[in-house]
Amino acid sequence: MLVVSRRWLGCAAVVMALGAYVNGASAQTYPSQSVKLLVGFAPGGPADIIARIVGQKLSEHWRQPVVIENRGGAGGNIAAVQAAKAEPNGSTILVTTSAFAVNPSLSSKAGYSPDEFRVAVIAATTPNLIVGAPNLPFATLADAIKAAKAQPMTYGTAGIGTTPHLSAEKIFSIVAKVPILHTPFTGAGPALNSVVGGHTPLASVALPAAVELVKGGQVKALAVTSNERIAALPDVPTAREQGLADDEDATWVAFFLPAKTPSAIVEKINADVNAVVSDKEVQQQLGKIGFRAVGGGVEQANRYVKSEIVKWGDVIGKLGLKLDQ
């Protein structure tokens, strides 16, 4: 029979109480220094847009500097690897997209495991958009695909494993069965710049990165991957309308922390980001560029990301994609 002394039990109770006190105190004083939002992609993409909108509001609320650091490359993996090694004190927050849920299935060398992180909050979501260079002689994605069957064509994305990449591959490889070559960039901004300059005929990106370029006539919007047309670009047909999809694909942006970050800090960040994205002015700002604010609790966010890992792992299997081959 195991005998436990009262003295040991008393010490254990003190340790547990002290741990709870420290955990609570850390939330009350957080943040006591500047906070870095480590963005997994280059400036101009969805993660960068959300980081800057939310980061500005957090800085005002926290009365601490919120610094944006872009670490694009490898479909968000470079930033994820760096964030996984950060001190688990809330001073570094990874802001990345649904590529986080894709990359571990896409490659055994992603450099991180989802288990190394906790999701603080899903900030926003948006459909993907396929655009073309302004001088292309067609106005819809269906027309572009017909042209691609007769002549070589390429398309750019923010990186291998991003959901815009997988959305495009589903359409081109599975539905249309046309070999359009993928050209990965370090972010949506560089991919779109290549289309604007006429170097790449097509690009598949999260919608907000391209809205102003479409409105300004610098790129042509060929298809959106939502089930219904988007208010920000009401004249752009869906891929579904063109017979090229039967479901909706989206890119979401979330805030991640190292798994050992105290729960009180994770909850604090969750609550404060929720306050930002529930603000009507922020929601209007996001809506104009094609985002929908999400928010919600920590456990809800973690369940959602786990479901996305399963969903995109299945898509990757059907496409036969594997970076290690």
The predicted structure's pLDDT at residue 19:
52
Measured between alpha carbons, how far is 322 from 47 in angstroms, rounded to an integer?
A: 24
Q: b/e string for 34-58 if b means 16 or more Cβ within 10 A?
A: ebbbbbbbbbbbbbbbbbebbbebb
Tell me if 129 sits within 8 A of 221, measured CB to CB.
yes
> Looking at residues 181-204, what average pLDDT do you find?
95
What is residue 28's three-state secondary structure? Answer: helix
Q: List where CATH 3.40.190.10 sits in the chain.
A: 127-224
Q: Identify how many contiguous H helices and E strands the chain contains and give both numbers.
A: 11, 10
The tens digit of pLDDT for each residue in 135-156 reads 999 999 999 999 999 999 999 9
Tokens of 59: 């800085």
Give the residue among 323, 169, 301, 156 at the shortest CA–CA distance from 239.
169
CATH class of 34-125+251-319: alpha beta
> Looking at residues 290-307, what average pLDDT do you find?
97
The tens digit of pLDDT for each residue in 208-228 reads 999 999 999 999 999 999 999
> Looking at residues 164-179, what average pLDDT do you find?
94
The answer, yes or no, to whether residue 303 has pLDDT greater than 50, is yes
What does CATH list as the number for 127-224? 3.40.190.10
Q: List where CATH 3.40.190.150 sits in the chain.
A: 34-125+251-319
Residue 6 banded pLDDT, cuts 50, 70, 90? low
Measured between alpha carbons, how far is 106 from 318 in angstroms, rounded to an integer?
A: 12
